[in-house]
C-alpha cells in the first residue's frame, strides 16, 4: 500500500496554530510535544528532530513520520497510539518498525510531497521513491546517475528521466543499501532492472502525481 500527501497540508493538520513553523525559514526550530495538536512523536523522536540543523529537514522528517505512522496504525495497529509506533534505521539507512522489524516499510519525500509504503506480507521487500520533475538534467548529472547504456535508451524527456531515476532509487532502497551501492552498477532499461548486468526479477510500479511528480515502487 502507498500513501502520499502534501507536506504543507500535514503541517497544518499537526501543528497548533500558535506553534506553526515558518516554512520559509532556514534555521532549525526547537520543537516540544505540546507544539502538536495530538501527540504522535516520542520523546526520542523529538530529540532527533531538534538535532537537525535546517528547518526543511525537520519538516520533511516530521511529515514523513506522521504519514507512515497513520498508515501503520490504520492497517496494522488500530489500538496503538501514534507516539507508540516508532521507527529506527538499519546500518545502511533503511527504516524499520522497532517493534515489528519484519513488516516491510519505505519512506520518501521531495519538495512539497512525502510518501510512505508498507506491506502486510512479512516476506515482501519494498523500496519507494518520489521526485519532483524538473527540467531535463545536465550532462554531469546524467553521467553520474545513469550508465552509458541507460542514457542511450533514455528519451530526452524530463518526465521519463525522472521516472527512471525514481525506479533506480527505489531499487536501491529495495536492496536496503541506498547510495551505499554504486549508481553505475544498477541499470533501469525499458522498465526492467539490471544489477551487475544481471536482470532482477522484481515488480516495478510508477505513477505521476499532479503532472510534475513521479512516484515509483519496487517490490518482490
Per the structure, the count of domains in the chain is 2
Whichever domain contains 184, its CATH number is 3.90.470.20
User: 100, 121, 142 — which closes off a domain?
Assistant: 121
> What pTM value is reported for the model?
0.90
User: 121, 155, 185 — which closes off a domain?
Assistant: 121
User: Is the CB of residue 126 less than 8 Å from the CB of residue 107?
Assistant: no
116 shares its domain with 133: no
**pLDDT band at 23, cuts 50/70/90?**
confident
Side by side, the strands of the sheet bearing 192-195 are 186-189, 192-195, 198-200
pLDDT one-digit tens code per residue, 145-180: 999 999 999 888 899 999 999 999 999 999 998 888
Computed over its alpha carbons, how large is the radius of gyration of the chain? 18
Which grid coordinates belong to 87?
Answer: 521507527
Closest listed residue to residue 153, CA positions, set 182, 181, 183, 187: 187
- pLDDT above 70 as % of the chain: 100
8 shares its domain with 104: yes
14 shares its domain with 116: yes
For residue 140, the enclosing domain spans: 129-219
pLDDT one-digit tens code per residue, 110-153: 999 999 999 988 888 999 999 999 988 888 989 999 999 999 99
Closest listed residue to residue 109, CA positions, set 215, 35, 188: 215
Amino acid at each position: 500500500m502507498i500513501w502520499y500527501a502534501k507536506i504543507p497540508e500535514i503541517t497544518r493538520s499537526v501543528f497548533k496554530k500558535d506553534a506553526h513553523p515558518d516554512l520559509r525559514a532556514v534555521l532549525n526550530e526547537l520543537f516540544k510535544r505540546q507544539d502538536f495538536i495530538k501527540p504522535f512523536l516520542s520523546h526520542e523522536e523529538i530529540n532527533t528532530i531538534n538535532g537537525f540543523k535546517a528547518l526543511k529537514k525537520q519538516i520533511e522528517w516530521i511529515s514523513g513520520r506522521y504519514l507512515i505512522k497513520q498508515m501503520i496504525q490504520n492497517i496494522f495497529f488500530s489500538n496503538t497510539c501514534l507516539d507508540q509506533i516508532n521507527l529506527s534505521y538499519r546500518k545502511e539507512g533503511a527504516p524499520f518498525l522497532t517493534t515489528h522489524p519484519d513488516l516491510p516499510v519505505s519512506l520518501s519525500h521531495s519538495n512539497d510531497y512525502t510518501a510512505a509504503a508498507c506491506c502486510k506480507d512479512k516476506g515482501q521487500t519494498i523500496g519507494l521513491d518520489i521526485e519532483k520533475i524538473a527540467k531535463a538534467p545536465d550532462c554531469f548529472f546524467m553521467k553520474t546517475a545513469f550508465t552509458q547504456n541507460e542514457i542511450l535508451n533514455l528519451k530526452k524527456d524530463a518526465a521519463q528521466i525522472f521516472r527512471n531515476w525514481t525506479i533506480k532509487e527505489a531499487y536501491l532502497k529495495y536492496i536496503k543499501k541506498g547510495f551505499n551501492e554504486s549508481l553505475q552498477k544498477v541499470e533501469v532499461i525499458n522498465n526492467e532492472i539490471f544489477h551487475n548486468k544481471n536482470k532482477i526479477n522484481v515488480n516495478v510500479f510508477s505513477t505521476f502525481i499532479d503532472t510534475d511528480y513521479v512516484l515509483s515502487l519496487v517490490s518482490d
